[in-house]
């Protein structure tokens, strides 16, 4: 079942008097539970596509459907609601809220919408996530007291806090060294397997994209390859 569908999507930006065709008509779908990677060089349209899926940008043309909801024409409130209920985000530069500690950063998305579950359940869930990303000892640390890898782990936990259907990660390893980057991708993969959350991440690192079971390759705003493979069991530690 497709959880994300893009149909002939185009995105044109205006830069001064010039028009930039970031996405030139792409069509693809991502199934629920996929660990999908959008691959391509800089300027190929990876981030634009993630932004469109993430409902933080709207296509110039075409249809973007998230979990059955077509995003075109939705008002800001509805888009915000959709983002909150369906999507989680992991950013290249982590984007943690600096005034909040690890626990509070992860709790943050949960406080934005209607309360689900009791306080105790919420606390247990956040603690589970912190444990899962291996930061139990850093629960009360602020972001500036963490390393890059640790920050990204917090970001992963935060993205999963609302139990979203889809987690979008825009080049999550770009600001990390290769070893840490690998461990972050492995963590995401584990979360994908354990929680059945759909992960869509962009990267231009070929070694990382190989871990994905669905790879969409872009070049100059167009899809050059859309391949689905099954990751071999045991490849994730």
Partner 1 sequence: MFLTMKVAFRNISRQKKRSFLLAGAIAFGMMIITLMNALTGGAVINIRDNFSHALGGHVFITGREWTDAGQMIMKIRPDANLDRLLEENSGQIAAFTRRSQAMPSLIFGSQQTLHMLYGVDFVEEERLVNSLVVIEGSLAEVGKRDDIIVLPEPVAERLGVEVGETVLIRLETLTGQQNVGEVQVAALIKDQEELGLSAAYTSRAYLNGLLGMEPHEYQILNMFVTDLDQVEQFARTFREGLMAPDEEEEQIDEPEVTVTVAGVPIDPVQRTEEVTPWEGTRYQVMNINQIMDAVELVVGVLNRVGLIIFLILLVVTMVGITNTFRMIMIERTKEIGTMRAFGMHQKQVKNIFLWEAVFLGLLGCLGGLVLAGLIALAVGSISLNADPSLQFFLDNSRITFALPGKDIVTNVVLVIFTSLLAAYWPARAAAKMSPIKALSSHT
Strand partners, 214: 36, 228
> What is the greatest pairwise CA distance in the chain?
55
Q: What residues have CB less than 8 Å from 120, skipping those under 6 apart?
A: none
> Which one of residues 5, 40, 53, 57 is an interface residue with partner 1 (CB under 8 A)?
57
Q: How far is the CB of 109 from partner 1 (least distance, A)?
A: 4
Asked if residues 38 and 54 have their Cβ atoms less than 8 Å apart, the reply is: no
When asked if residue 112 is in the footprint of partner 1 (CB under 8 A), the reply is yes
Strand partners, 9: 26
Query: In the chain, what are the helix, strand and coil shares in percent, each to the nearest 5?
Result: 35, 30, 35
- Contact segment (CB under 8 A) with partner 1 among 95-103, 124-132, 175-183, 220-228 equals 95-103
Nearer to partner 1, 60 or 193 (CB): 60
When asked if residue 51 is in the footprint of partner 1 (CB under 8 A), the reply is yes
When asked if residue 99 is in the footprint of partner 1 (CB under 8 A), the reply is yes
Q: Both ends of the chain: CA-CA distance in Å?
A: 28
Nearer to partner 1, 115 or 179 (CB): 115
When asked if residue 76 is in the footprint of partner 1 (CB under 8 A), the reply is yes
Whole-angstrom Cα distance, residue 115 to residue 130? 20
Site of interaction with partner 1 (CB under 8 A): 51, 54, 56-57, 76-77, 80-81, 83-85, 87-89, 91, 93, 95, 97-100, 104, 108-109, 111-113, 158, 162
């Amino acid at each position: 079942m497709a959880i994300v569908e893009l149909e002939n999507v185009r995105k044109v930006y205006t830069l001064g008097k010039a028009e930039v065709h970031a996405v030139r008509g792409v069509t693809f779908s991502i199934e629920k539970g996929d660990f999908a990677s959008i691959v391509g060089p800089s300027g190929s349209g990876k981030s634009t596509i993630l932004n469109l899926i993430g409902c933080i940008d709207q296509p110039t043309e075409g249809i973007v459907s998230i979990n059955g909801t077509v995003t075109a024409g939705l008002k800001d409130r509805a888009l915000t609601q959709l983002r909150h209920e369906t999507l989680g985000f992991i950013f290249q530069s982590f984007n943690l809220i600096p005034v909040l500690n690890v626990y509070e950063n992860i709790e943050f998305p949960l406080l934005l919408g209607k309360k689900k579950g009791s306080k105790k359940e919420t606390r247990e869930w956040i603690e589970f996530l912190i444990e899962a990303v291996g930061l139990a000892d850093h629960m009360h640390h602020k972001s500036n007291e963490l390393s890059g890898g640790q920050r990204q782990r917090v970001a992963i936990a935060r993205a999963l806090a609302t139990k979203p259907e889809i987690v979008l990660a825009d080049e999550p390893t770009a600001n990390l060294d290769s070893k840490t980057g690998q461990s972050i991708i492995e963590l995401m993969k584990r979360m994908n397997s354990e929680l059945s959350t759909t992960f869509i991440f962009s990267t231009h690192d070929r070694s990382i994209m190989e871990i994905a079971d669905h790879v969409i390759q872009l070049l100059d705003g167009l899809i050059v390859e859309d391949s689905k493979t099954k990751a071999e069991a045991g490849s994730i530690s």
